[in-house]
Structure 1
């Protein structure tokens, strides 16, 4: 059994912050935990915009607090996000994620699981990691 609290993660290598300060990701489950998926809490800061395109991962996201929006760059459609909204990037959807008037708290599942070292490249992509080192 794996049991972790937010306090267990804060200030460790499982807490990853964007270089530009737009978001912080707290990685509760990683590939090395052997679950077949990873599970994160991500805080998207109010008033920010982040370009994301997970070419190597599928992601499902559930908002538990705050507000913002996601823009599908293929269709141009914009979806509001608030507490109780789920979205799934089931087609490796390229998108813009925008924080609204308050920070968004998102619970995220990735397949394949993250190793914990991923950061977005210039195209908003997490690389496909092949080891946990």
Structure 2
């Protein structure tokens, strides 16, 4: 059983911060659950473009308001508590936070811990496991 406290993790290297957002990595690839789980805060008044070419992601809004735009179709969806979206086609998207968004996020394959977005809005591919692993 794995039990972790968000507030304690925010005081460690499990809190990854960049301009406009931070993410507390609560479960990582090394936990061998098959996915990673993060609590991410998108700061009020910010806008971000992401494109997870190598990962699938599901996101559940816990708090805050904003919107997500599918950049392939132009469709815009409101984000508010209780709304979930899943990037099931590696969807290139824009996320806008009107107020601070608090999001619970799952990634498959799991991230290792210190990933930040590359210039194209993606994370690097997950490392390949060797036969010895």
Count of paired positions: 128
Q: Determine if contact 2:110/2:126 at 8 Å carries over to the other structure.
A: no
Give the CA RMSD over aligned residues: 0.9
Structure 1 residue 7: Cα displacement: 2.1
Structure 2 segments unaligned to the other structure (5+ residues): 129-133
TM-score for both structures, normalised by structure 1: 0.93
Matched, 1:118 2:115: yes
Q: Paired residue for 1:58, among 56, 59, 66?
A: 56
Structure 1 segments unaligned to the other structure (5+ residues): none
Structure 1 residue 6: Cα displacement: 1.0
Report Cα offsets for 1:77-112 as digits up to 9, x if no partner: 110000000000000000001101x20100000000
SS in 2 for 1:116: coil
CA distance in 1, matches of 2:27, 2:8: 12
Q: Determine if contact 2:54/2:126 at 8 Å carries over to the other structure.
A: no
> Pairwise mapping of residues 5-44 of structure 1 onto structure 2 (< 5 A)?
5-18=5-18, 20=19, 22-44=20-42
Moved over 3 A (4+): none
Q: Determine if contact 2:38/2:106 at 8 Å carries over to the other structure.
A: yes
TM-score for both structures, normalised by structure 2: 0.93
CA distance in 2, matches of 1:41, 1:7: 11
